[in-house]
Structure 1
């Protein structure tokens, strides 16, 4: 099934997944700059904005140049029952994530805006999109962004057999490593639809499950102003923001980030990425 045929289902499933994800406890992962841990805690509550200088993230990823050590088996992780929804760390930290790309019409503009403000983000990519846009993944590596696995064709995992889920995840991890220089350490289920197999297989492949705290609703194309409001109203320490750089017309997302990103920075937020496991 082509991705553009999935967006009616996406609108229903993502709305339900977002409501479900915010209803319970949230996993927390420590952002770059400290020892990586994970635990559970209550979801963050938006608070008043405090103006302070933003220090650029020190995270830099140096991509491989073609010749390097042979692949090694990923470190197996503890199997989780819920995805991580927010980040931990000192200060007013937030994390920006973008799903479904890369896409040559929208991803470069988002990368340009992130580069303008010296901000790192996470991109959960689909393998079939990477195959057509390898240069964009290479740019993400060069500019210090973290790339996660979002399956090969963006299927609804709860309708697939275990071996089909494995194939979707493994193929995507392989092309990410070939293009980006490292195997992904993070996985996000399409539509936010998780099942036991996705958690188990992700852990076997060395990937932690990452969800989100604030949904920009850009997948519904609600208007640039609505997207801006969703981010600015939901801003709080520990928040993980969900946006999209592919899968539909993302021109509203491109315009919105040019407004809400400087607002977050001026409000004293540090936009960061997870610590790397070596």
Structure 2
């Protein structure tokens, strides 16, 4: 691990506190489409041997672990950290996929950054409209762009964990998953003073180990409802059209601020965000 690794004892305390904090807010903010029952009598599912991955097409094989990549593949729906504590039940088998009882609330999320070419433009647009969002960052990008992490936090955005090198998680052994998630959480914690409470699997490809290790690190999994398909670089017009068509109460929007040419994503946000606000939608985020 890097020289700035947090001492194990302090990190364990922070992880436990983060886990309790996240658990306290989940019942109020998010719901899993896999659970139809609501209310206090509907607990989160316990871990099981055969979890159901998030739906979506399977991408091509990811590149070598811990090597920076110049692009990201299609989303689907070592020297690792020290031994982590056993995950506290219940451990989820599916990610949260939308906001519950949200009225006209929506969540904007951006993956793969921060990238100094595109992230500042997205932050500027969000700031102009007084809107907060969620940024799921990759450690290999965050470690060299800590100033952008601080800018995200200073503006009130939620910074989440998107692994270190954006691998296909189900193809990794548990030790490598701990490396991917643990190293990224440490960069975020070292930079912002607090570990992330949320994470998103690259490509939306989750497995039992990722849910358990995420819980060990004090994080809850968050997927998305609306994929803008901006990773295909279709141009701003196509992205705006998809957001207009898919907008609705409780929707979580997936976009990207890195991993390719994201100029279309930057331009599209400037166009569709004021439209959503004029239509009465409120952009929200869970507590950090």
Q: TM range, normalised to the smaller chain?
A: 0.7 to 0.9
Contact (CA 8 Å) 1:36, 1:275: kept in 2 or not? Answer: no
Contact (CA 8 Å) 2:31, 2:98: kept in 1 or not? Answer: no
Residues 1:87 and 2:79 are matched in the alignment: no
Task: Please report how far the alpha carbon of residue 91 of structure 1 lies from its aligned counterpart in structure 2 after TM superposition.
Answer: 2.2
Residues 1:162 and 2:154 are matched in the alignment: no
Deviations 1:49-74 (A, max 9, x none): xxxxxxxxxxxxxxxxxxxxxxxx89
Contact (CA 8 Å) 1:103, 1:133: kept in 2 or not? Answer: yes
Q: Show structure 2 runs of 5+ residues with no match.
A: 1-21, 36-84
User: What TM-score, normalized to structure 2?
Assistant: 0.71
Runs of 4+ with >3 A deviation: 34-43, 73-77
* 1:1-278 paired onto structure 2 within 5 Å: 36=28, 38-41=30-33, 76=88, 78-276=90-288
Q: Show structure 1 runs of 5+ residues with no match.
A: 1-28, 44-72
Using a 3 Å threshold, how does the CA distance of structure 1 residues 130 and 82 change in structure 2: closer, same or farther?
Answer: same
Deviations 1:174-196 (A, max 9, x none): 00011122100001000111111
Give the 3-state SS of the residue equivalent to 2:143 in structure 1.
helix
Give the 3-state SS of the residue equivalent to 2:117 in structure 1.
coil
User: What TM-score, normalized to structure 1?
Assistant: 0.74
Deviations 1:54-111 (A, max 9, x none): xxxxxxxxxxxxxxxxxxx899463111111101244200000000000000000000
Q: For 1:128 and 1:77, locate their aligned partners in 2 and report how far apart those are by CA, in whole Å.
A: 31
Task: Please report how far the alpha carbon of residue 226 of structure 1 lies from its aligned counterpart in structure 2 after TM superposition.
Answer: 0.8
Q: CA RMSD in A?
A: 2.4
Contact (CA 8 Å) 1:123, 1:146: kept in 2 or not? Answer: yes
Deviations 1:93-145 (A, max 9, x none): 00000000000000000000000000000000001101110000000110000
Contact (CA 8 Å) 2:31, 2:100: kept in 1 or not? Answer: no
Deviations 1:23-58 (A, max 9, x none): xxxxxx99x8x9735544479xxxxxxxxxxxxxxx
Task: Please report how far the alpha carbon of residue 205 of structure 1 lies from its aligned counterpart in structure 2 after TM superposition.
Answer: 1.1
